[in-house]
Each structure stands twice: as C-alpha cells, then as structure tokens.
Chains A and B, each alone.
Chain A
Amino acid sequence: MTLGEFLERHGGEMLELTLEHLFLVFVSTGLAILIGVPLGILLTRKPGLSKPVLGFANVMQTVPSLALFGFLIPLNIYLFDVKIIGGIGARTAIVALVLYALLPIIRNTFIGISSVDPAIRDAGRGMGMTDRQLLFQVELPLALGVIIAGVRVATVICVGTATIAAAIDAGGLGRYIFRGLRANDNLLILAGALPAALIALGADLALGYVERTIQFGGRVKATSKKVIGSSVVALLIIAGAAYLFASKSVGRIAVGSKDFTEQVILGEILAQAIEARTGLAVERRFDLGGNLVHEALRAGEIDLYAEYTGTALLAILQAQPLKDPEEVYRRVKAEYARRFDLVWTEPLGFNNTFAVLVRSGDAEKLGLKTVSDAARVSAQWRAGFGQDFMSRADGYAGFVRTYGFQFQETREMDLSLTYRALAERQVDLIAGNSTDGLISRYRLVQLQDDRNYFPPYDAVPVVRQSTLEKFPQLRSTLAQLGGILSVEEMRQLNYAVDGEKRAPAEVAREFLKRKAILP
C-alpha cells in the first residue's frame, strides 16, 4: 500500500486518533499543572516536605505504565455518584499520565522559586510584602521561565506515554502502533508514531518559544497576566469537565478483548451476536493490553470477553499445568465462580495452543504425523522459537525433555518471524500458534501433540455473574456460539484480517452470516 492509498483509506481515522491523543495530552498536562504548581509552591514553604514529595513523584516515574494501569483499574473511588478513579478507558489513562507528568512540574516549580535571588526576596519582604504578595508579584513571575520548562518536559512525556494508553481502551495514536506491531505492519506503526512525534515536536517548540519569550522578555505584562489568569481558570474548567466526561460510560453491555487479532475478531463475533440476538446495545472495549482485560472484567468495566482455559489456569489462577482439556475447563470454571463471581460459558470450539509446525514437503517426504515422528528424525534439524516459548513453564525445556528432541541448533526469534524462517528453510521446525493464519499461507503442517505436552488453550467466553442475572437472554445467545469455531476456521478468520488486511468487524459479520447467527 502506498502512503497515498493509506491516507485515503485511514485519513479520517488518523485524524480522530490524533485528536484523541491531543485530548489525553491536553487534559493530563493541564491537571498536572493544576496539581503540580501549587504542590511545588507548598514545598518552597515547607522544605521538609520536599524530600518525600519529590521522592514519591520520582518513584511514580519509574513505575512501568502497564503496571500502573493494572493497579488503577480495580480501584473504585467515587466522588458523589461519579467514579473518579479506576476502570479502563481515558479516565484511568489520564490519572496515570498526570502521575507521570507531575515530577518535572513540581520539581521545576520548587527549583524555580527556590533559586530566586535571596536579596530580591529580602527586598520584597523588607518593603512589606506579605508572603502571598511576594509569591505572586515576585517569586512566581521570576520562576515562570523555569516552571514552563518543566511543563514542556511534562508535555513531551505525556505525548509519549499516551501511546501506551491504547492498552486500556483510552484511544489515541497508540492504537495504530499496537495494531501495527501485532500485524507486523510498518506503515501502521508509522501512522501512529509519526503524528505522535509531530505532536511532541510541536508542543516542545511552542512551549520552548514561550519559555524564551518569558526569560528574555523578562517580564509578563499586565495584559498577559490577565490572559494567564483566565487561561488557568479555563484550563481548570475544561480539564475538569473533560475528565468527568472521560469517566462517563455508555452502552449497556461491554464486550472486551485482548490486544491481538484473534481476540478482536472474537470480540466482534460476541458483540455482533449479542446485538443481533438480544437487541441489547453493545459497547466494544477492545485491544486491552496484558492481562488488563481480566482486571477490567473483575472491575465491572466490561461484561464479557473470550479467555483461553490454559491462560486462566496458568497466568491468572497461577496453578500447575494440567493436560486434560475437560479437567482444565472444569477447574477454571469452578475457581472463577468461587473466587471472582465470573461464569465460563460454552467453549467456542477451537484450541489456540502451541502448534508444532513443519513444512508440508518435509511432512510428506518423511511421513510425519506426530511430534514423536519428528523427534526421531530431528538430529540434523534447526529449530526456531519465539522468546515467549523459550521462557514459559509450558514451553521449550519441558517440550524438548518430553519428546527427546536434540536439535542441531535452536534459534530464538520474534514469534511472527518464525513462520517465514520455516518457509524459507532457515529452520526446520517451529512452535507457532495453532490458529495463526500464516499456517495456511505458508502451507505448513501441524504435528499432533501425541504425548499431550501442551496444556489446552480452549477459547471460552467469560461473563460476569451479575450481568447474566441482569440480562438472562445472554445465556441462550452464548450457548448458540458453543462449538461454532474450528481451528481451521479460526485460522482463516485470522488470515483474513492479518493477511488480507480486512476489517475484523466485516470478517466477523461474514462468519456469523455463514453460521446463520446473523440473518
């Protein structure tokens, strides 16, 4: 796709994401100024506080953003009837961004005021200024340049960090970046990264200009004082309103998804089936990063999403691996009901486990059907595995031990690259995902896991108990989706999106029509 075609197709969406991004940055920086500047001033009045407060702000900056999101989502803090902290979406992203932006603003306010010449401060006090008058007429005007330098740093931090906010459905240019990383699509990554870089650059230049004007101009005219005063008031109102607006949740049933293609397709399948069958309004909150989707479900920010039995068992319940699919399903269903009040409904039908893959040519020539067949002929083989497979409990070490593999060479690479490496004969065996569309595209063959080494990863919708009670008609719709998707079908759907670049919503609609769930 050329750049022109891309802009033609995505131009409108790009503008929308850019505006969302600007919104996040503007509101977060605004709130950070409103909190940080008074706090910085307070520190100059109570220097004893400066160590703990600056220490806290310092620590906040070192917390990885995904970890911070994970901590914020389950919080439920209300002011009157409005939830002010917690959940997924722009609100939580803004809280996190404000925490990141605080440090440079507090620090620069503190330093800017502290470094006002003591003789000037003495002159002001000697002339009979009250502390307030000294602050507003002398210290703040003289510190303004340094404070704006802090705001400048904070803004650039916000522009960068706001891209991560896409992981909690807060929108912004991060959506393109995450989507592009997932689909290995550089154009898409650039479509997110380039405007973000331009915003950062623009904000930096503009604030840099303001900073220089103030420092070299040396003073703020009476008129611009009024302008500053009214901008602060306007900022306060807009930022406050925007924050509350961001906290407003619409839709009656919210369907979530993790941040990879198959999950978005499953999210669409669930959402469209519910819309068609129950007539309920559905809100889509897709692309949630890490295990944040589970946190969001527990917090009631979403009502359902499709989870994998193995992931629930190992990553969420932190239990030991089990081999029998039935047993895993029973176990997670019981534990989820007991611990979280969450209901596992009917499995969708496919198992997205690790697939041990070889080229179809090799499989035919050597008559390979099972992984054990491959182990016998693998002495001259080179294997390629993703980083994830190399390190996880149900990954490489146990796999090699169980089947007695002795590869000539084992290469660790990005998962998405292993398929191509296999097709291009750089390696001879890989462990991919069983539902990956690239399996059909490169004409690869999945060998049967005859020793049942890999735990099952059956995809199953997980719903909040309270949602099922509120909307009992959901049960029959979800029951209809039971067993609807084979591994082969899931591969095709994934390929339609990743390989043919079609929209997940459209792919899901076609599929549901074929299955007569949609008319």
Chain B
Amino acid sequence: MSNGATSIEFRDVSFSLASGRSLLSHLTLQVEEGETLVLLGRSGSGKTTTMKLINRLIDPTSGEVRVERKTTLDWDPIRLRRRIGYVIQEVGLFPHLTVEENIGVVPRLEGWAPERIHQRARELLIMVGLDAEQFAARLPRELSGGQRQRVGVARALAADPPVILLDEPFGALDPITRREIQREFMTLQRELKKTMVFVTHDVAEAFLLGSRIALLKDGELILLGPPEDLLQSEHPEARAFAQGFSERHRAGSPR
C-alpha cells in the first residue's frame, strides 16, 4: 500500500507528565503515506499518548514529531488538526448535535457552504453503510453502538483529511458488530488510501487492519514490522499477544 513517502515521523520522542512520570520514551518510527500503522499494546503502554502527539493535543517533552516533513511545533495546531481526521471511542460524538451536524463539524469550521456540507454528510453516511434519510436527523443517543462508530468514522472523513487517527474506535462494540464493521472498514481503507494510525489492544484487529504493527509496552517500542514479525518474535510481550491471536484463530475467529 505504501508509495514510499513519509507522512508522519517520530524522532526519539519522549513524553512525561508534569509529575515526572514517563508515558513514552525514545520512540522512533515512521508512518508511510497510505499505510495503516497499528499501535498495539495493553492499557497504559503509551498508544494513546503516541496518537495525541501527532495532532498536538500534547507536545513532546523531548525529540520531535514531524507531520508532512514539518515538526508539529511549527504547525498551527488548529490547521494541523483539521488536516487529520480523529475517531475516538463512541463518546466522541457530540451528544447535542444530530448525526448530520456531527459529520459536518469540521467542514463547518472550514467554512463550507451549508448545501455542500449537507451533500457531503449524505455521501459519507452512504459510504459507511447508513441510510442517510433514516439517520441524518437522529441524535447520537438514538443510535446503536455500531451505528455511532460508523458516524464517528464518517465524521473523521468529512473534510477529506490526508491522515486519520483512530483511537480504539471499535473497542466498545459487541464482537459480532465489531467484525462486521472491521470488514467494512477494510473496504474503506482500500478505496480511500489514507494514511491511518490505528490504536487497539485487540491483536486480531491489528492483524486484520494493519499493514504494519508497532507493539508498545510501558512507553517503549518493542517491535515494529508487518504482522508476521509479531508471530515470529521471541520477545515475551510479542509472544503473549501472538498467543492470544493463535488461540482465537483456532477457536474459529472470522479471520
């Protein structure tokens, strides 16, 4: 999928809280244009921190993060964020806005004409497999978990950003809906060819969606490479995840 150009680059990046506790240490990695990099790890391994460093919700304590060859500190955070779609767990939808308004948030911020926003929202709803007529005017609480997640993805795609960050987007869904939506997402991936950074602790999801996997533990990068590398690694953390995957595999996981 990669066409060779680097979209996002971490150069020896560390991040510590004001209290001094380190959440991420000496991370160096690159995300190529059009690839999907999965950040895999347990809770507290530094996945979400890595993600927030990309859209400048936080700034690195040391090292630098480059997006499109420019360090994030030189980016205007607002401009940077509007070039990056952001999907977080279902709570990320604004509860006081309808589905259509939620999808239209960034285009509205960008000053699109209302008619264009309307068209775009409908187009995206269809793209994520929701009936526009039926869902456009609903509020988030009137949707099922799966429907909410689809809207979340549609919202991140709204202004056609080159980069999309997804922070455990399907984490709160039941397993069946989850597999279903993962498959649809794969189709979207192929069609859109966006650069994606995808956070998960679900090894099956990582295998399914990732062109490469970055395994994190306690804020450190343990392994970076295509999914097969994880299965062959001798590192105990990699083996723990790999084992989880093969167990599920034997149990007849959809993959």
- Interface residues of chain A, those whose CB is within 8 Å of chain B, are 117, 119-120, 122-130, 133, 137-138, 141-142, 218-220
Contacts and interface: CB of A to CB of B under 8 A. Distances in A.
Contacts of A133: 109
- Rank and list the top 10 A-B pairs by shortest CB-CB distance, nearest first: A128-B81, A128-B82, A123-B92, A126-B86, A219-B96, A119-B91, A141-B96, A128-B78, A127-B106, A126-B55
Contacts of A219: 96-98, 139
B222 interface: no
30 contacts: A119-B88, A120-B91, A120-B92, A120-B95, A122-B88, A123-B86, A123-B91, A123-B92, A123-B93, A124-B94, A126-B81, A126-B165, A127-B82, A127-B106, A128-B78, A128-B80, A128-B84, A128-B106, A128-B109, A129-B109, A130-B78, A133-B109, A137-B94, A138-B96, A142-B94, A142-B96, A218-B95, A218-B141, A219-B96, A219-B98
Contacts of A119: 88-89, 91-92
Contacts of B94: 120, 123-124, 137-138, 142
B95 A142 contact: yes
B79 A220 contact: no
Interface in B63-88: 77-82, 84, 86, 88
A141 B98 CA distance: 13
A130 B79 CA distance: 10
B105 interface: yes
B251 interface: no
A228 to B, nearest CB: 13
A128 B79 contact: yes
Interface in B121-163: 139, 141, 155
A141 B101 CA distance: 14
Most chain B Cβ neighbours within 10 Å, of A127, A138, A141? A127
B91 A117 contact: yes
A137 B97 CA distance: 9
Given A127-B106, A127-B155, 20 more contacts: A119-B91, A119-B92, A120-B94, A122-B92, A123-B92, A126-B57, A126-B86, A127-B81, A127-B82, A127-B105, A127-B109, A128-B78, A128-B80, A128-B81, A128-B82, A129-B109, A133-B109, A137-B94, A141-B96, A218-B95
A298 B91 CA distance: 62
Interface residues of B, number: 27
Contacts, number: 66
A94 B97 CA distance: 38
A218 B88 CA distance: 21
A122 B56 CA distance: 11
B95 A125 contact: no
Contact of A123 (B82, B88, B109): B88
A138 B55 CA distance: 19
Contacts of B106: 127-128
B65 to A, nearest CB: 15
Given A218-B141, A219-B139, A127 B86 contact: yes
B88 A126 contact: yes
Nearest to A131: B78
A137 B106 CA distance: 12
B107 to A, nearest CB: 11
Interface string B25-61: 0000000000000000000000000000001010000
Nearest to A125: B57
Most chain B Cβ neighbours within 10 Å, of A128, A130, A133, A138? A128
Nearest to B91: A119
Contacts of A130: 78
Contacts of A125: 57, 81
A219 B94 CA distance: 10
Contacts of B141: 218
Nearest to A219: B96
A122 B97 contact: no
A224 to B, nearest CB: 12
B204 to A, nearest CB: 25
Contacts of B109: 127-129, 133
A86 to B, nearest CB: 43
B96 A220 contact: yes
